[in-house]
Structures are given as C-alpha cells and as structure tokens.
Amino acid sequence: MTGAQMVSACSIAGSDSGGGAGIQADLKTFTALEVFGLTVVTAVTAQNTREVRGTWMLPPEAVRAQVEAVADDFSIGAWKTGMLGDARNIRAVAGALPGSAVLVIDPVMVSTSGYRLLDEDAVTDLIELLIPRAAVVTPNLPEAEVLAGMQVATLDDMAEAGRRILDLGAGAVVVKGGHLAGGSAVDILVDRDGVTEASGRRYPYSVHGSGCCFSAALAAYLARGMAARPAFAAAREFIDTAIGRAVGGPGPLRIVNPGGTILRRH
C-alpha cells in the first residue's frame, strides 16, 4: 500500500519530551484509531507531565518543507495543528497547507502548567490565516475567551463563544468545558446547524495531554470519513476512556483503541 492509498492524518505541533502531549500523543492516538500518522514538528520542548522547562522553535522554512514533503507523497485525510508557537510558523503553515486540507485547529496558547506556547502577537495571524480554513476549532475555556473576546463562565457563555469563533469562518467549534466548575465535564459543539452538548464524568485528578489527544482523535475520525458531529461524539468518547484509564496526579493519558487494547509506554 502506498502513501496515497493509506488513511492518513498529519499533526503539526511541538515535540513533547515527556511523551504525553504534542506530536507524541497525536501519533499514539492516530495509531490507536488505525490511521497512519504523519508529523510536522514546529518546536522542540523540554517538558514532563508537571512542567514545560523550555521551548526551541524550528525555523519557518523547516516547517514549510515538512508540510510540503508529506503533502507531496500522502493522501492526507485530515490535518491538525497544535503548538504553532509564533506568527512566522503560522504563516508558513498557512502558505504550505493544501487548499483542500481538512483542518482541525487546537489553538494551543498556554500549557496546563502556565507556560506560554503561542506568542501573544501571533493570535491575530491564527485568527486571520488559519481559523477561516478550519473544519473544526477546539479551544478550551481560556483559549475560547481569547478567540471570542469575552469572558466564559457558564454553558451559555460557551455557546456564545462558539458562535463568535464560528463567525471567524470555521466550519464548527468545540468549546471544551473541562475548566468549568460542576459535577460533569461538558463540551459544546457549535456549527451552522446549532448547538449540541456532550457530557462526561469529571475525574478527581488532572491529566497531561487531553487536549492534544482529543483534537487528534477528532482529526483521525474526520480522516476516516466521518462528518464533524459524529466525529465529535466519537472523539469525546475516546478521550473520556483515555482520561478514565490515566495515571492520575497529574499523569499521562492511557490511550486505548476501540477494541480496548492499551498502548503501553516502553
């Protein structure tokens, strides 16, 4: 089977030395969902499940070359972006992505430990150059506040923020409610057909890499031909299982395939 024949998805993101987020988490997710994983590395990070100790951005010409290389050889069913880091790399990605790309944007801005992963002056480029091309954008609450220009404190706020981001040109928006207080973790999908909610158990521990894993699962399901709404439901179930089997405290997710086989760390 050639690259043009395989079901493939590509992650454009930073490398996580701890293996729990970024490129590494995306590849594990793609593998679990039986999608061939491709990568475009935007940055190298020194991090573990507790903190990011440093980041080193790749030059934009290296990012562009990686995008062009995989696009030339593979039929890529979906692309996802994670950590893009700065405006130069956002412009490189926007310039190199195929016009027909099915794109999931995880607008990674700040790590869970509080380390900034996207320059403040790059947000405008993200909004203007990539979000209008996105099939789905998947902000958490702090990211939704930045993109929508409003405070998000309730489910109604989440829906309104989703509508505002949708108005930026995205095909659909998933506002992730993990930071919202309450007994359940509620995510909201907003598209031009309206609003739908998906709720799951809120676990008594934090995890590392859940946003990366969710957006990668969403990209994998889109690559396999699902529409945005069923892909959202499937990715939500996938991440709930991964969090449920995580090593708490905070620890890495335990990514499982639909048959239940755990992909263990070696």
Domains in the chain, start-ordered, CATH in brackets? 8-252 (3.40.1190.20)
Nearest to residue 180, comparing CAs of 199, 207, 208?
Answer: 199
243 has pLDDT over 80? yes
Least confident of 6-15, 152-161, 199-208: 199-208
- How does pLDDT run across 123-175, given as a tens digit for each residue? 999 999 999 999 999 999 999 999 999 999 999 999 999 999 999 999 999 99
Residue 102 has pLDDT above 50, yes or no: yes
Listed residue (140, 199, 196, 200) closest to 165, CA to CA = 140
- How far apart CA 125 and CA 60 sit, in angstroms, is 14
Distance CA 249, CA 94 (A): 37
Q: For residue 39, give Cα distances in angstroms to 10, 80, 218.
A: 5, 10, 16
pLDDT tens per residue, range 45-55: 999 988 889 99
Q: Is the dihedral of CA 200, 219, 195, 84 positive or negative?
A: positive
pTM of the model: 0.91
Q: According to the model, what pLDDT value does residue 110 have?
A: 76
Per DSSP, the residues of the chain read: --TTTS-EEEEEEEEETTSSSHHHHHHHHHHHTT-EEEEEEEEEEEE-SS-EEEEEEPPHHHHHHHHHHHHHH--EEEEEE---BSHHHHHHHHHHS-TT--EEE----B-TTS-B-B-GGGHHHIIIIIGGGEEEE--BHHHHHHHHTS---SHHHHHHHHHHHHTTT-SEEEEE-TTS-SSEEEEEEEETTEEEEEEEEPPSS-EESHHHHHHHHHHHHHHTT--HHHHHHHHHHHHHHHHHTS--SSEE---B-TT--B----
The two beta strands, 251-252 and 207-208, are parallel
Average of per-residue pLDDT across 54-83: 97
For residues 112 and 97, give the distance between their C-alpha atoms in angstroms, rounded to a whole number. Answer: 28
The pLDDT assigned to 261 comes to 44
The count of residues in the chain is: 266
Q: How does residue 184 score in pLDDT terms, banded at 50, 70 and 90?
A: confident
Structure token digits, residue 51: 């903190």
**Local confidence band at 30 (pLDDT 50, 70, 90 cut-offs):** very high
Taking each helix axis as running N to C, give the angle between helix 155-166 and helix 141-148, from 0 to 180 degrees, rounded to the nearest 10.
50
Question: What is the reported pLDDT for 256?
Answer: 67
Listed range (36-50, 70-84, 140-154, 247-261) with the worst mean pLDDT: 247-261
Query: In which residue are the tokens 């070696």 written?
Result: 266
Q: How confident is the model at residue 262 (pLDDT cuts 50, 70, 90)?
A: very low
What's the CA gap between 50 and 48, in Å, rounded? Answer: 5
